[in-house]
Chain A
Amino acid sequence: NAGVTQTPKFQVLKTGQSMTLQCAQDMNHEYMSWYRQDPGMGLRLIHYSVGAGITDQGEVPNGYNVSRSTTEDFPLRLLSAAPSQTSVYFCASSNRDWGTEAFFGQGTRLTVV
């Protein structure tokens, strides 16, 4: 029962570096999404996907790219890391039906120095 797997769990980047946060789910969910969690702000949607080959922007997409080449994987790319991107990142997936439970990965704590 892997569920949603996120890697890495922790990462420190220097300003300007790029990296990819990995997210994989084994539940054949169509919907996948990325959130960032900052103190006092709750979780905010970065990008989401409703199926392979389809992605869209969320509330705070700037500085991030995504792709969805398979149902299972939804990587999040930081193009040129900035200190403002220091946050905890969560990937989530859910099935096609409206209003169903979302399953979360364990989170990635990213620090940009």
Chain B
Amino acid sequence: EDKVVQSPLSLVVHEGDTVTLNCSYEVTNFRSLLWYKQEKKAPTFLFMLTSSGIEKKSGRLSSILDKKELSSILNITATQTGDSAIYLCVHTGTASKLTFGTGTRLQVTL
């Protein structure tokens, strides 16, 4: 059974801090790893990672995949209160079945 584990489960930081969220996976047939941000409603897409070592970047957010270590990290620099959310790491497998991690709840305080 495919498994995705995220750490930490929750995190409180001050505005301006840099955070690193971790995701490790154990899957039988790796396809891709997705990162989503979930605020009050549906998850919104951040990144899709398929190749090891290639950083994806969008503004203050970046992510990279390490297939050797079966892991990925999501970095957020200069955090803002609007970054407060649950960050989900997801593996896409056969027939696009998604295996979700439990998520990391990030709270950014002033």
- Pick from A90, A94, A104: contact of B96, CB below 8 A: A94
Contact partners of A44 in chain B: CB under 8 A: 100
Q: Which of B31, B43, B50, B101 contacts A104 (CB 8 A)?
A: B43
The reply to whether A101 and B48 form a contact with Cβ atoms under 8 Å apart is: yes
Contact of A48 among B42, B90, B95 (CB under 8 A): B95
Among the listed B34, B50, B97, which residue makes an inter-chain contact with A33, where contact means beta carbons less than 8 Å apart?
Answer: B97
Q: Does B68 touch A at the CB level, under 8 Å?
A: no
Q: Is A102 interfacial (CB 8 A cutoff)?
A: yes
Given known contacts A101-B45, A106-B42, A107-B41, is B88 in contact with A43 (CB within 8 Å)? yes
Instruction: Give the Cβ gap from B44 to chain A, nearest Cβ, in Å.
Output: 8
Residue of A nearest to B31 (CB): A99
- Cα distance, A48 to B94, chains bound together (Å): 11
Chain B: CB-nearest residue to A44: B100
Q: Are A98 and B42 in contact (CB under 8 A)?
A: no
Nearest Cβ distance between residue B57 and chain A, in whole angstroms?
17
- Kindly identify, within residues 59 to 95 of chain A, every residue whose CB is under 8 Å from any CB belonging to chain B: 90, 92, 94
**Is the CB–CB distance between B102 and A102 below 8 Å?**
no
Interface residues of B in 75-110 (CB under 8 A from A): 88, 90, 92, 95-103
Using CB atoms and an 8 Å cutoff, list the residues of chain B in contact with chain A: 4, 31-32, 34, 41-45, 48, 50, 88, 90, 92, 95-103
